[in-house]
C-alpha cells in the first residue's frame, strides 16, 4: 500500500460533510399503531472531507453504514441533519446543493441485463443528464468497452458489467466518484485493470471514494482511509498518519529459511506472530525490524524477505475502538442485532 503521494499532500478538500446523519426507518409495529416506524441503523454524526485527486478508502465491516454513507454522499438519501459544503472553485465554501450534479455513484453489484446494447444502456442514462453521444463514446473508450458497444447486456461478463457501471458513474464528468465495493466479483486481472482506471481518474483530479470490507483489496490504491463502524466514523486521514495515530505502523513480516527461535532475533513483546514451516519461517514483528536484521546477521540466520505489513480490518477496528479482537468480532457479528438509540420517525421506507 503506498503512502500519501507528495503531489497530493497539499490537495485541497473540495467537499465537506459536517455531522451528517441518515438513519433508516425500520418497522416497529404496535397494537395501536401497526404502521409505526423507528429510527434504525444508518450513519450518525459523520464529518469527512473529500480531497481533490485523492482516493479515500472507506473501510468497515458488513453493516457499518458504508453503503448508506455513499448513498448520502451521492444525493440519493436525504441528509437528516448536518451540512454539506463544496468549494470546487478553490475559493469559498458554499452549500453543496444537488450533489448528483457533480458526484458520480457506482452502486454495489448492478445487474445490467436485457437485450439492450451497452451503448443504449448508457445513452438511456445519459438522457437523464443530457450527456452527448460523443461523451458516451469517449467513456466507452475510457473504460475499455468500445469494442463491446453493440453487445447485448446479457452477454457481458461480470468484469465488463463493472466497467459499464463505472462508465455510468462517469456520465456527468463528476468531480467526486463513489465506488461501492467495486471489487466484488472481479477476478484479479479485472481488479488490477479496475484499480488502474481509478488511479487514472484520480490523477485527473477526481476525488474518489472506495468502500470495502476487504482492506487487502485496496493495497496500493488508496491515499486516505476512513474507518466506519456501527454508523460512526472512527478515524479518517492520510493512510500513514492514521496508521501512526492508531499505533499500527512499523509492522514487518520477515521470512527466512531453515529453523529459528524467534526470541533469538527480537524481544518477545515485539513478536506478533511466528510460523515455523518445513523449510522456512515467517515472523511478524511490531517495531524493531532493524533489530531483527542485525540479530539475524549476527547469528548467521538466512533471511529471504523483509516487508512492511498492513493491518487487516479487524486490527484497524480494534485499534480505533480500543476493543479486543474477540470483542470486536462479536460486535461485528451482532451489529445488525444491536439497535442504536431509537425513536419514532415518519418515513416510507
Partner 1 sequence: MSDLQRILNVASRIRRERLAGIRLKIMMPILLLFLPGMAWGFSDPNIVLPGGHRPDTAMEVLFYASLGVVFGATMCAVLMAFDGVSKDRASGMLEVRLAQPMPRRHQATALILGHAQSILLPVYALLAVAVVLVRLRMGEWPTAGELLVYSASTGLIVLWYTLFALLASTSAREQGTAIAFGIGVWFFFTFLWALVTTMVAYASGVAVGEANDPAWVALEGLLDLLSPNGVYHHLLETQLPTVDRGVAAWQSWLAALLWTIVPWWALHRRMERLVP
Q: Shortest Cβ distance from residue 109 to partner 1 (Å)?
A: 6
Q: How far apart are CA 112 and CA 164, in angstroms?
A: 8
Residue 107 or 238 having the CB closest to partner 1: 107
Residue 1 or 76 having the CB closest to partner 1: 76
Q: Shortest Cβ distance from residue 101 to partner 1 (Å)?
A: 5
3-state percent helix, strand, coil for the chain, nearest multiple of 5: 35, 30, 35
Q: Shortest Cβ distance from residue 76 to partner 1 (Å)?
A: 5
Q: Shortest Cβ distance from residue 8 to partner 1 (Å)?
A: 26
Residue 125 or 282 having the CB closest to partner 1: 125
Q: How far apart are CA 293 and CA 297, in angstroms?
A: 6
Q: Shortest Cβ distance from residue 151 to partner 1 (Å)?
A: 17
Q: Shortest Cβ distance from residue 183 to partner 1 (Å)?
A: 16
Residue 90 or 130 having the CB closest to partner 1: 130
In sign, the C-alpha dihedral spanning 175, 85, 241, 229 is negative
Residue 75 or 231 having the CB closest to partner 1: 75
Residue 91 or 349 having the CB closest to partner 1: 349
Q: Shortest Cβ distance from residue 239 to partner 1 (Å)?
A: 28
Q: Are 320 and 246 in contact (CB under 8 A)?
A: yes
Residue 123 or 232 having the CB closest to partner 1: 123
Q: How far apart are CA 160 and CA 143, in angstroms?
A: 9
Q: Shortest Cβ distance from residue 57 to partner 1 (Å)?
A: 21
CA angle 55, 57, 58 (to 5 degrees): 135
Strand partners, 233: 228
Give the 3-state secondary structure of 260-325: CCHHHCCCHHHEEEEEECCCEEEEEEECCHHHHHHHHHHHCCCEEEEEECCCCHHHHHHHHHCCCH
Residue 121 or 242 having the CB closest to partner 1: 121
Q: Shortest Cβ distance from residue 128 to partner 1 (Å)?
A: 4
CA-nearest of 309, 264, 260 to 281 is: 260
Q: Which residues of 81-102 are buried (b: 16+ CB within 10 A; e: fewer)?
A: ebebbbbbeeeeeeebeebeeb
Residue 14 or 260 having the CB closest to partner 1: 14
Residue 165 or 270 having the CB closest to partner 1: 165
Q: How far apart are CA 32 and CA 303, in angstroms?
A: 72
Instruction: Determine the length of the chain.
Output: 349
**Chain position carrying cell 480531497:** 51
Q: How far apart are CA 198 and CA 226, in angstroms?
A: 18
| Chain positions contacting partner 1, by CB under 8 A | 24, 71, 74-77, 98, 100-101, 103-105, 107-116, 123-125, 127-130, 165, 168-169, 171-172, 347-349
Number of H helices, E strands in the chain: 10, 15
Q: Shortest Cβ distance from residue 129 to partner 1 (Å)?
A: 6
Amino acid at each position: 500500500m503506498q503512502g500519501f503521494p507528495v503531489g497530493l499532500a497539499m490537495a485541497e478538500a473540495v467537499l465537506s460533510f459536517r455531522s451528517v446523519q441518515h438513519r433508516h426507518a425500520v418497522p416497529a409495529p404496535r397494537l395501536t399503531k401497526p404502521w409505526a416506524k423507528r429510527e434504525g441503523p444508518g450513519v450518525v454524526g459523520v464529518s469527512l472531507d473529500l480531497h481533490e485527486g485523492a482516493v479515500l478508502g472507506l473501510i468497515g465491516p458488513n453493516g457499518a453504514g458504508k453503503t448508506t454513507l455513499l448513498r448520502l454522499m451521492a444525493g440519493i438519501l436525504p441528509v437528516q441533519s448536518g451540512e454539506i459544503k463544496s468549494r470546487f472553485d478553490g475559493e469559498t465554501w458554499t452549500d453543496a446543493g444537488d450533489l448528483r450534479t457533480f458526484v458520480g455513484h457506482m452502486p454495489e453489484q448492478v445487474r445490467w441485463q436485457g437485450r439492450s446494447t451497452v451503448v443504449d444502456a448508457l445513452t438511456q442514462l445519459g438522457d437523464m443528464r443530457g450527456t452527448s453521444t460523443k461523451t458516451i463514446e469517449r467513456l466507452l473508450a475510457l473504460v475499455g468497452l468500445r469494442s463491446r458497444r453493440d453487445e447485448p447486456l446479457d452477454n457481458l461478463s461480470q468484469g465488463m458489467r463493472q466497467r459499464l457501471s463505472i462508465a455510468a458513474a462517469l456520465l456527468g464528468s463528476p468531480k467526486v466518484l463513489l465506488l461501492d465495493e467495486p471489487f466484488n466479483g472481479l477476478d484479479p486481472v479485472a481488479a488490477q485493470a479496475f484499480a488502474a482506471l481509478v488511479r487514472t481518474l484520480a490523477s485527473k483530479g477526481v476525488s474518489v471514494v472506495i468502500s470495502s470490507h476487504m482492506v487487502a483489496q485496496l493495497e496500493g490504491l488508496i491515499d486516505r482511509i476512513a474507518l466506519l463502524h456501527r454508523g460512526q466514523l472512527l478515524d479518517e486521514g492520510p493512510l500513514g498518519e492514521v496508521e501512526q495515530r492508531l499505533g499500527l505502523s512499523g509492522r514487518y513480516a520477515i521470512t527466512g529459511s531453515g529453523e529459528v527461535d524467534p526470541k533469538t532475533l527480537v524481544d518477545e513483546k515485539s513478536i506478533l506472530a511466528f510460523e515455523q514451516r518445513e523449510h522456512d519461517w515467517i515472523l511478524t514483528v511490531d517495531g524493531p525490524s532493524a533489530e531483527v536484521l542485525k540479530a539475524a546477521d549476527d547469528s548467521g540466520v538466512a533471511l529471504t524477505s523483509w516487508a512492511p505489513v498492513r493491518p487487516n480490518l479487524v486490527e484497524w477496528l480494534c485499534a480505533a475502538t480500543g476493543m479486543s479482537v474477540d470483542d470486536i468480532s462479536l460486535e461485528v457479528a451482532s451489529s445488525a442485532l444491536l439497535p442504536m438509540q431509537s425513536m419514532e420517525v415518519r418515513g416510507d421506507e
